[in-house]
Structure 1
Amino acid sequence: MTEKRKHIVLASGGTGGHIFPARALAEELISRNMDVTLMTDQRGEKYEQLFPGVKIVPVTSASPSVGGVLGKLVAGFKLLLGTLQSIFILRKLKPDVVVGFGGYPSMPPAAAASFLGVPLILHEQNAVLGRVNRLLSGMAKKIATSFHHTESGAREIASKMSFTGNPVRQEIIALHGRGYAEPTVKDPIKLLILGGSQGATVLSDVVPAAIADLPDSLQSRLHVIQQCRPEDLARVEAAYQKTSVTTTLAAFFDNVPELLNDCHLAITRSGASTIAELTVSGRPAILVPYKFAMDNHQLKNAENEVAKGAARLILQDEFSVTSLKGHLEDLFSHPDKLTCMARASAQLGEINAAQKLADMVAKLNKSTKSGTSRSNGKVAA
């Protein structure tokens, strides 16, 4: 008798920081002959190409973090409606495990899973447990973390945590172990500046001016690859035309793995996916955390990297022409420091995160297969 294929539901917020780890896990689960469904908000429809072989089911949700009192009331109603929808959907799907990746769109499916007695795993991408995952933590059987130390604020939550790492796409994993080519005093230096999915104006304001202040002997060796907001492109290009650097500027790059592989130093925000890609590829970085990130999680992410010697940190309020110029001149004049940072970064990279998370799913499913959570009949159609 053929064993029934396992069915795993992934519940995720609609932003890249939540979606990309979910995508990596989906690929791993499918490779293990499991069926996968993704439940997210309406933004999920644009991710269909990222999830081949995965059924995408939209659910109603909203964030109570915006819109004042009225916004909170409307969001609460939508989250309740989404939970009722999710109960109906999960009763039909009969999943073996639900994995939540954070973000408010993950809340209705995760809450529905708890109501129906379906084992729930949460995955936290950042170094501090996000608000949604904190709210759901009491319902979860396990919490997978991307950092060895993740702040949770409660001992009972910490006891559920296990380190898996943050799953990244296969194109990034392919970079692991390739090593780092330290630039000699005559080599071109490739500097990569990424500001997240929408770019970052503060990087466009500061980086060109800091580079313009570098000695011409360094400028002439620099190839700057910089992501800019569309509205910033013209002025950034004009600023670089006054320097001796070679530039490649764009609002979006679709070849980030190639750019990471070639770069000698990256200047980036410190979102969870960015940190994971930097460490798996083993690249040194200057991190500029987004100061309005929820619970200041980008700062916590960056501090983990700095503590291990993999990156340097400049707070956004201290990110000035003078401070950045000092770091760039120091690192480019002493490339052995870049090599040490690259080595430390590579040691932090977790290339088996998707496999470890999939193992956690399989183990939880096996341990609850004959448990009481399935014997109460709640999941039955």
Structure 2
Amino acid sequence: MNFIVGHNRDRDSYQVPAALAEVSALETFVTDYYEGRGFSVPTLSHRRTPLIDASRVRQSWGAFAAQLPYEVKRRIKRSVDFPTVAVESRLGATIARVAAQKPEADLLLYSGSALQAFQGPSTGRRILFQYQVSPQFIVDTLSTVDDLQGVRPWLREAEELDPGMQEQHVAEVNLADSAVCASSFTKRGLIAQGMDPENITVAPYGGPRPERIPEDAAAGPTCSMLFVGQGIARKGLHILVEAWRRAALKNATLTLVTSRHDPEIEDFARGVPNINFVGRHSKQEVLARMRTADTLLLPSIAEGFGLVLSEALSQGCRLLASFNTGLVDMELPENLGVVVEPGSVDSLVEGLQRIADTYEPRRSYRDLVFDHSERLSWAGFRRKVRQGAGLPTEIGETARLEEGE
């Protein structure tokens, strides 16, 4: 039982193909670029994992080339949207060619680039990895649970502007035998699309092994809260700004690390005290912010999971996020994971006040945060992926000793 896996970039730290490689069930991994396979790009040297041998990788140069203009503009600080449709289409074409050459292989493909191979001559199983919420489910959710909908002309989502995304998603779901996703909220979207709940496996994302930080490393009188992600309405950033305004917390600060943000939301935040927009950060800079923050905030209206939740937990952060994120699947105690209603300003105000009221300057709860981070590991995610693929969930002792996080 060997699988072809396909996705773009180093999405999810290569954990899905790695899950299959651990039990010798990875036939081919198709991606845009993988270090050690062909020519080397120094700035992409991180694009590899010890769990996947480069000989198992097939690169899609079409997908790689489609991203180059975006990367050039991003590096000179110009705002530009990622060319999702072009990239996924070219990657999907490469995946389809590989699958046609090995029609007996099973397919475990990321949504957005699975359709062409699913339509091909493969006789193996077709499993969809649904990493983002179903497009129409995003549109429906944004239109029904946002307290501030229409207050300003917030940037619209790609799912609202491009009906083709939903059309492709419908076709992929209809052709899939089963699906794996990272959160219960994403599962709800698949069910709304017509997939049988019995054919959906929820595999909550894990995160890196925590580095336990001395208890006094974060001592201080101010509760530092942090948001990391795109500064857009789908992430609930406008709700967060208004809730922060109304909560008027004393001895608390909010830092917003945004890869890009809606200028309407930045303008909406003018005059609100103790909010600081700091813009795009490198991965190491984000982790450094997380290590000094008390709580990560992710009040998303619609979120596939929110990998920053696992990453922040590994750095010692408490978490506050909406029901429409992966926080509900992490099963944290209430003092470490505060869950709020998506799109609700009042619920978020209450959640922020709870965080501020329970803040301890020396953060004695940090050891418990690290304990839960170790429980919510990437290894556990990989086991659930194998379960969804019908493979043995446990790996051999030799592989276990060699596994990397």
What TM-score comes out, normalization by structure 1 length?
A: 0.57
Kindly provide the CA deviation profile for residues 184-209 of structure 1, in whole angstroms up to 9, marking residues without a partner as x. Answer: 99544332111338787627844774
Q: In 1, are the aligned partners of 2:257 and 2:281 still within 8 Å (CA)?
A: yes
Matched, 1:353 2:381: yes
What amino acid is the match of 1:136? E
1:111 aligns with 2:138: no
Confirm whether residue 249 of structure 1 aligns to residue 287 of structure 2.
no
Cα gap change, 1:184 to 1:105, in 2 (>3 Å)? closer
Aligned residues of 2:204 and 2:381 also touching (Cα < 8 A): yes
SS across alignment from 1:116: coil
Question: Cα offset for 1:94?
Answer: 5.9
- The CA distance in 2 between the partners of 1:360 and 1:303, in whole Å, is 20
Partner of 1:318: 345
2:208 is equivalent to residue 173 of structure 1 = yes
Residues 97-144 of structure 1 show CA distances to partners (whole Å, capped at 9, x for unaligned) of: 321221x222222332xx321332222346879866664345444432
User: In the superposition, relative to structure 1, how do residues 80 and 194 fare at CA in structure 2: closer, same or farther (>3 Å)?
Assistant: closer
Q: Residues 360-379 of structure 1 correspond to what in structure 2 (within 5 A)?
A: 361=389, 363=391
Q: 1:84 to 1:261 in 2, by over 3 A?
A: closer
1:192 is aligned to 2:221: no
Paired AA for residue 199 in structure 2: K
Per-residue CA deviation, residues 317-370 of structure 1 (Å, 9 max, x unaligned), is 627xxx655543432222379959959975983532124425655839xxxxxx
Separation in structure 2 between the aligned mates of residue 356 and residue 278 of structure 1, nearest angstrom: 22
Distance 1:335 1:7 in 2: 49
Give SS of 2:391's match: helix
| Preserved CA contact (<8 Å) 2:321 2:327 | yes
The reply on whether 1:55 has 2:58 as its aligned counterpart is yes
Tell me, which stretches of 5 or more residues in structure 2 are unaligned?
34-40, 49-53, 64-84, 138-165, 393-405
Task: Indicate the structure with greater helix content.
Answer: 1
- How much does 1:254 deviate? 1.8
Gaps (5+ residues) in structure 1? 1-5, 61-75, 289-297, 365-381
Aligned match of 1:100: 109
Cα 1:80/1:263, change in 2 over 3 Å: closer
Who is 2:198 aligned against?
159
2:289 aligns with 259
Residue aligning to 2:398: none
Would the alpha carbon gap of residues 285 and 154 (structure 1) be closer, same or farther in structure 2, given more than 3 Å must change?
same
Q: How does 1:1-381 map to 2 (within 5 A)?
A: 8-12=3-7, 20-21=11-12, 23-29=14-20, 34=26, 36-39=28-31, 49=45, 51-52=47-48, 53=54, 54-57=57-60, 87-92=96-101, 96-102=105-111, 104-112=112-120, 115-125=121-131, 135-137=171-173, 139-147=175-183, 150-151=187-188, 152-153=191-192, 157-166=196-205, 168=206, 172-175=207-210, 178=212, 187-196=221-230, 202=238, 205-206=241-242, 209=245, 213-215=248-250, 218-219=251-252, 222=253, 224-228=254-258, 229=260, 249-255=278-284, 256-270=286-300, 271=303, 272=305, 273-277=307-311, 283-287=317-321, 299=324, 301=326, 309=334, 310-316=337-343, 318=345, 326-335=350-359, 339=365, 346=373, 349-351=376-378, 352-358=380-386, 361=389, 363=391
CA separation of 1:197 and 1:278: change in aligned 2, threshold 3 A: same
* Partner Cα separation in structure 1 for residue 106 and residue 226 of structure 2: 40
In structure 1, the partner of 2:143 is none
What is the DSSP-based 3-state SS (H/G/I as helix, E as strand, rest coil) of the residue aligned with 1:175? coil
Percentage of pairs with the same residue = 6
Distance between the aligned counterparts of 2:281 and 2:242, measured in 1?
A: 19
Report the secondary structure of 1:316's partner residue. coil
* Shift in CA distance, 79/154, structure 1 to aligned 2, threshold 3 Å: closer
- Distance of 2:58 and 2:44 partners within structure 1: 9
Which whole-Å CA distance do the structure 2 matches of 1:193 and 1:300 have between them? 14
Q: Is 1:284–1:342's contact at 8 Å kept on the other side of the alignment? A: yes
Q: Please tell me whether the aligned partners of residues 209 and 377 of structure 2 are also in contact (alpha carbons under 8 angstroms).
A: no
Change (3 A) 1:275 1:334: closer
Partners of 2:3 and 2:106 within 8 A in 1: yes
Determine helix, strand or coil for the equivalent of 1:26: helix
Distance (Å, rounded) in 2 between the aligned partners of 1:156 and 1:287? 27
Q: Compare CA radii of gyration and give the structure with the larger one.
A: 1
Cα distance change, pair 189–126 in 1 and its aligned pair in 2 (3 A): same
Q: Deviations over 1:147-199 (max 9, x none)?
A: 46833258972222334333x5xxx32128x4996999954433211133878
TM-score by length of 2: 0.54
User: Residue type of the partner of 2:6?
Assistant: A
Aligned positions, number: 310
The one-letter amino acid of 1:330's match is: R
Greater shift, 267-276 or 152-161, is seen at 152-161
